[in-house]
Structure 1
Amino acid sequence: MATASATIDIPVPADQVWQLIGGFGSLPDWLSFVVKSELSEGGRLRTLRTEDGTVIVERLESFDNGSKTYSYSITQAPFPVTDYLATLRVEAHGDGARVTWSGRFTPNGVSDEEAQELFSGIYQGGLTALRSNFPG
């Protein structure tokens, strides 16, 4: 099992960041390369479409609005991993917020390092995109 993680600090209250990213269908609101998110199964399954037409299907595994965190698994994606579980978390940090996106997975056909590099890049790129929604 391999892991990857990225963290970013954002100079606005955690509640404000969570309001933008806390909805399971909200990825297109803050992640520009995800152009569409359709929820099904009562909001527990999201089907994402990226700019290049890639389809990714993810299942909400846990959600805690009070703790500002949710975890999800991938049911369909072109990634070289299995047993994927990721968590997105927003925490108060000083006067602002700290956002952590992390995951664990089993590489499939690639090394641990290659899989870790792939998801570290996705998480860091996503958090950088998130940060751009909050000027200042």
Structure 2
Amino acid sequence: MAHTTTSIDIAATPGQVWQLIGGFNSLPDWLPYIPSSTLIDGGRIRHLATPAGDVIVEQLEAYDNAARSYSYSILQAPFPARDYLSTLQVSAIPGSAGARVTWSGRFTPVGVSEQDVTELFHGIYVAGLEALQQSLAK
């Protein structure tokens, strides 16, 4: 099973960051390559639209508001992977008022090398966290 993780430090409090990203339906609020999200099944499944018209279906697996963290799996996506589980977490930076946001995932490649699928998701996470930082800087 492949995995990747990346993090970014943001000049906003953990509470401010979590306010923006902590909702399972909040991706369109800060992630430009997800223009819409629709919740079903009591808010545990989200249907994400991409600018290319693809649909990604994800399921909320764990949510911890106090720890500012949630984990989700992918049920349907145009990605060459299965058994995908990802976690998005906001934590305090010791000795600072800022926040560290970490996005990690594990997955099994399908039809591509472990390196290729790892680079794909790592790129998504890095671009997403950079977009988050830009959203909060406004």
| TM range, smaller chain | over 0.9
**Matched position secondary structure for 2:35:** strand
**Matched position secondary structure for 1:131:** helix
Structure 2 residue aligned with 1:95: 97
CA RMSD of aligned residues (A): 0.8
Structure 2 residue aligned with 1:15: 15
**Matched position secondary structure for 1:133:** helix
How far did residue 133 of structure 1 move?
A: 1.2
Structure 2 unaligned blocks of 5 or more? none
Could you give the per-residue CA deviations for residues 10-36 of structure 1, whole angstroms, max 9, x where no partner exists? 011000000000000000000011011
* CA distance in 2 between partners of 1:105 and 1:33 (Å): 21
Structure 2 residue aligned with 1:106: 108
TM-score, with normalisation over the residues of structure 2? 0.97
* CA distance in 1 between partners of 2:69 and 2:112 (Å): 29
Structure 2 residue aligned with 1:65: 65
Q: Which has the higher strand share?
A: 1
Structure 1 residue aligned with 2:84: 84
Could you give the per-residue CA deviations for residues 37-86 of structure 1, whole angstroms, max 9, x where no partner exists? 00000000000001111100000000000000000000000100010000
Aligned residues with identical type, % of pairs? 58
| Aligned partner letter, 2:125 | Y
Structure 1 residue aligned with 2:49: 49
How far did residue 128 of structure 1 move?
A: 0.3
Structure 1 unaligned blocks of 5 or more? none
Structure 2 residue aligned with 1:30: 30
**Matched position secondary structure for 2:119:** helix
Structure 1 residue aligned with 2:127: 125
Equivalenced residues, count: 136
* CA distance in 1 between partners of 2:86 and 2:132 (Å): 17
**Which aligned segments of 4 or more residues in structure 1 are displaced greater than 4 angstroms?**
none
